[in-house]
Amino acid sequence: MGEFVRLEVADGIGTIRLERPPMNALNTRVQEELREAAQAATADEQVRAVIVFGGEKVFAAGADITEFTTVTYQDMVARAAALSGAFDAVARIPKPVVAAITGWALGGGCELALACDWRVVADDAKLGQPEIRLGIIPGAGGTQRLARLIGPARAKDLIFSGRMVDAEEALRIGLADRVVPAAEVYSAATELVRSYTTGPALALRAAKQAIDGGLSVDLAAGLALESHLFAGLFATDDRVEGTTAFVEKRKPKFTGR
């Protein structure tokens, strides 16, 4: 759908593909196309789950640093929100989303992976937030999502040092969810989300909203959000089908309605 980012849909799975050789550098154009692809995946009812994939060699090696050499403070004040918003559009896809990571996922590439629900990582991949080595910090969610995912102490270690982690360490600290041979990354990501393509779409949407929304509020507000979303599902066809199928001891046939 764009010059560097496209959405492909097959069998209920939408694949957001990055195609800006050689390293999928996330320049302003790519960021905007990512936003458009995320919005398209959100709106398309045929898409029940999403894979973000950079290809067989690299996920995304980060921002296009050549754009940063002449950017002023005034320029970045105007652009920073849009940068963060492009990744936030991926995080807000109300469907299961997995990053299929090969090669490098650094800087903005790592932040894009953090915006997904899970990360399937090649056994030879490298991940990290090396922005500190440029005299800056992550600016598209890295300081926030990484700390929430692996804890503040480990996030500070990676962000303060700018060091990269391999797949084994990423799995150990919770940055990766599965590690597989590089040639199997996309198929493993597909297998991870395949079951959700026939699941209760509205319940999955509510579950994601409850979990993600609850992380930014106190417990009482989170419980209130959960109760609201829980009650709303009693207006869905899938709730009728799911509970009836349970009573009748058969497999439910969800329609996403």
Distance of alpha carbon 165 from alpha carbon 171, whole angstroms: 10
Q: Is there a catalytic annotation at residue 108? A: yes
Q: Let me know: does 175 contact 166? Beta carbons within 8 Å.
A: no
Tokens describing residue 53: 């994939």
Question: Which of 62, 108, 139, 199 does the annotation list as catalytic?
Answer: 108
Q: Any alpha helices (H) in the chain, and if so which ranges?
A: 28-43, 73-91, 108-114, 142-150, 152-161, 167-173, 185-194, 201-214, 219-232, 237-247
Question: Which of 131, 139, 155, 206 does the annotation list as catalytic?
Answer: 131
Question: Which of 107, 111, 128, 155 does the annotation list as catalytic?
Answer: 111
Cis ω before 130 (30° cut-off from 0): no
Q: Is there a catalytic annotation at residue 111? A: yes
* Residue whose token pair is 């937030």: 129
* Residue whose token pair is 């069998």: 11
Question: Which of 40, 63, 100, 203 does the annotation list as catalytic?
Answer: 63
Q: Which residues are catalytic?
A: 63, 108, 111, 131
